[in-house]
Amino acid sequence: MSSNEFRVPDVARDRLPALLCAMPKAELHMHIEGSLEPELIFSLAQRNGLDLPYASVEELRRAYAFADLQSFLDIYYAGAAVLIHEQDFYDMALAYLARAATENVTHAELFFDPQTHTARGVAMQTVVNGLHRACVDAQRQLGMTASLIMCFVRHLPEKDAFETLEQAMPFLDKIIGVGLDSGEVGNPPENFARVFARCRELGLHLVAHAGEEGPPAYIWSALDVLKVERIDHGVQAAKDSSLMQRLVKDKMPLTVCPLSNLKLCVFPSLAAHNLKTLLDAGIVATVNSDDPAYFGGYLNENFTQTFAATGLTSQHAYTLARNSFEASFVDAAAKHGYVDRLNDYFETFS
Ligand code: HPA
Ligand code: ZN
């Protein structure tokens, strides 16, 4: 059944926030290092005996005013330097997952950036084992599922991505796929054609950030050269009508991150965000939080603020939640289970 066949009851605008917060949903675009709240950065720095170039939590939070993606990445990579031990990675991931569970996220696929850590001498196994143990415990303790997607940073050469893949080989049973992130403009997807082809041979799922700040051409090459299964961000697709048609025809999911786009000045305001345009064109868009500790909101804030600003309806809410499960990398049986729960939720919401 397509989402259009599910009759969604009309919900008054003042009841939409409650609907959005309580509906079950998946989060598919979330960098786990972007969940490091200033308080956690300070407590990990203290635990690990590290000095921070900020005097207080408040001073660090005040630095979170970004002009573009690069100005954010500089602070984001510096913050991630407090992660040293396996327990640090575990604590960070479990804190995010516990928060997500309270927001009725029933499944999360988490990005991580191993090169940020291995470049500082932290072993791949420290990173993966800590994050993976949190994903396993989330199922037992929080009743949600979670899995890991390893990102290659595109500001470094493909050779480094191959080395990272080599280091990850013993842990591929703990990683469901690979992605491509970091500074986009000037670092097009096709620079990573060979390493993505190798990951494809290894049976890994493939995604890539494209069309966040970069042009539609980067989305085309993520599709045609890297052969990705989802596009992360992808909002610049609206500038290219034949690309829009291609995305619709292929049911290619876009993992859209509205508050991230606002904070990184991709759109001047949430009211100017093109999520409604994408959805109404038939694109399989989803809503995600990207780096919630830095962008002023976790998943439910992304939903409620975007709906308030853009006039999206309860039908859009259903479509977005449904898309999040359909676009996830869980198996068909699990997907059915999540969608059944979603349908039950919408049938009984009043
Ligand atoms: N874009 C690119 N790289 C990133 C992002 C993002 O939004 N967040 C963390 N790394
Ligand atoms: Zn991202």
Which CATH superfamily hosts domain 25-296?
Metal-dependent hydrolases (3.20.20.140)
Rounded CA separation 326/1 (Å): 11
Q: Which of 76, 111, 209, 256 to mutate to test the pocket of ligand 1 (most atoms within 8 A of CB)?
A: 209
Mean pLDDT score of the chain: 96
Whole-model pTM above 0.85?
yes
Work out whether strand 25-31 and strand 145-153 pair parallel, antiparallel, or are unpaired.
unpaired
Q: Which residues pair with 146 in a beta bridge?
A: 108
Q: Which residues approach ligand 1 with their CB closer than 6 A?
A: 31, 34, 69, 76, 181-182, 209, 212, 260, 290-291
Residue 6 tokens read as: 């599910």
CA Rg value for the chain: 19
Q: How far is ligand 1, taken at its centre, from the CA of residue 10, in Å?
A: 35
Render pLDDT for 294-333 as a digit per residue (tens, 0 to 9): 999 999 999 999 999 999 999 999 999 999 999 999 999 9
Amino acid at 320: L
Q: What is the pLDDT of residue 1?
A: 43
Q: Which atom of ligand 1 is found nearest the CA of 33? A: 9
Render pLDDT for 243-291 as a digit per residue (tens, 0 to 9): 999 999 999 999 999 999 999 999 999 999 999 999 999 999 999 999 9
Q: What are the residue ranges spanned by the domains of the chain? A: 25-296
Nearest Cα to Cα of residue 147 among 24, 30, 15, 315: 30
Label residue 31 by pLDDT band (50, 70, 90). very high
Q: What is the pLDDT of residue 4?
A: 53
Q: How far is ligand 1, taken at its centre, from the CA of residue 150, in Å?
A: 13
Rounded CA separation 170/321 (Å): 34
Instruction: Return the biggest CA–CA distance within the chain.
Output: 57
Render pLDDT for 15-30 as a digit per residue (tens, 0 to 9): 999 999 999 999 999 9
One-character DSSP codes across 114-170: HHHHHTTT--HHHHHHHHHHHHHHHHHHHS-EEEEEEEEETTS-HHHHHHHHHHHGG
Q: Which of 33, 72, 110 to mutate to test the pocket of ligand 1 (most atoms within 8 A of CB)?
A: 72
Rounded CA separation 291/76 (Å): 9
Work out whether strand 205-210 and strand 230-233 pair parallel, antiparallel, or are unpaired.
parallel
- Length of the chain measured in residues: 350
- Name the percent of the chain lying above pLDDT 70: 99
Render pLDDT for 192-218 as a digit per residue (tens, 0 to 9): 999 999 999 999 999 999 999 999 999
Q: What is the pLDDT of residue 349?
A: 87
